[in-house]
Chain A
Amino acid sequence: GAVVSQHPSRVICKSGTSVKIECRSLDFQATTMFWYRQFPKQSLMLMATSNEGSKATYEQGVEKDKFLINHASLTLSTLTVTSAHPEDSSFYICSAIGGQGATDTQYFGPGTRLTVL
């Protein structure tokens, strides 16, 4: 199998609060995890690449101090949106590599819809 879960699936928070999103590979060890953001009617935008035990690599324009990523184990990566603002409202999706099939195939979690009021 190649199942990736995310929690929570939906979160609504007030402006200025921090939100943590968990991404887990349920039946395989994920050597690498990715975090994406998707705004309505737009394509996926890669935010960062996360490897277990090392610092995440952020894409240009993504603030690493605002989007904290921790990849503590081969099955868990977390994304914390710090001091969230309405413009951070989006669909956040993680993916993981290491499941069945090709070793470079990314399997996606179900996504977390964040709404910041």
Chain B
Amino acid sequence: QKEVEQNSGPLSVPEGAIASLNCTYSDRGSQSFFWYRQYSGKSPELIMFIYSNGDKEDGRFTAQLNKASQYVSLLIRDSQPSDSATYLCAVNGAGSYQLTFGKGTKLSVIP
């Protein structure tokens, strides 16, 4: 069974700090990796996707992928109170459009 594990948190960081969110997955054949942000009572919003090992940067966000370790992370630089949300890691496998979601990490950025 495919599994995606995340620390549920809450992860508290001060405003301006770097928030580091981690995710591991069980299916070694996974091809695509996504980070979504979900505010309370709202639907998930795509932040980034990453396919290849290494880092991918988009503004204040950096996704990191290490397929050998089956590990994907999201770094948020200069964290803002508006970044406070639950961050969902999602993974899909080769030839599949279905996503397996982690349970999410709740991030709280303290002003």
In the assembled complex, A93 has its CB within 8 A of some CB on chain B: yes
Q: Would A46 and B98 count as touching, CB distance under 8 A? A: yes
Flag A31-45 by CB within 8 Å of B: 1 or 0 each. 010100000001110
Q: Would A108 and B43 count as touching, CB distance under 8 A? A: yes
CA distance A15 to B90 in the complex (A): 34
**Smallest Cβ distance from B57 to chain A, in angstroms?**
16
In the assembled complex, A27 has its CB within 8 A of some CB on chain B: no
A102 with B49, Cβ < 8 A, contacts A43-B101, A43-B104 known:
yes
A43 with B43, Cβ < 8 A, contacts A49-B97, A102-B51 known:
no
CA distance A43 to B42 in the complex (A): 12
In the assembled complex, B34 has its CB within 8 A of some CB on chain A: yes
Q: Would A32 and B43 count as touching, CB distance under 8 A? A: no
A43 with B103, Cβ < 8 A, contacts A104-B97, A110-B42, A110-B43 known:
yes
Flag B87-111 by CB within 8 Å of A: 1 or 0 each. 0101010000111011110000000
Contacts of A43 in B (CB 8 A): 88, 101-104
**Contacting residue for A44 out of B34, B44, B45, CB 8 A:** B44
Contacts A/B (CB < 8 Å), 30 sampled:
A32-B97, A34-B97, A42-B103, A43-B88, A43-B102, A44-B88, A44-B101, A46-B99, A49-B97, A49-B98, A91-B41, A91-B43, A93-B43, A93-B44, A101-B46, A102-B32, A104-B92, A105-B34, A105-B49, A106-B34, A106-B97, A106-B99, A107-B46, A108-B36, A108-B43, A108-B44, A108-B45, A108-B46, A109-B43, A111-B43
Footprint of B on A, CB under 8 Å? Answer: 32, 34, 42-44, 46, 49, 91, 93, 97, 101-102, 104-111
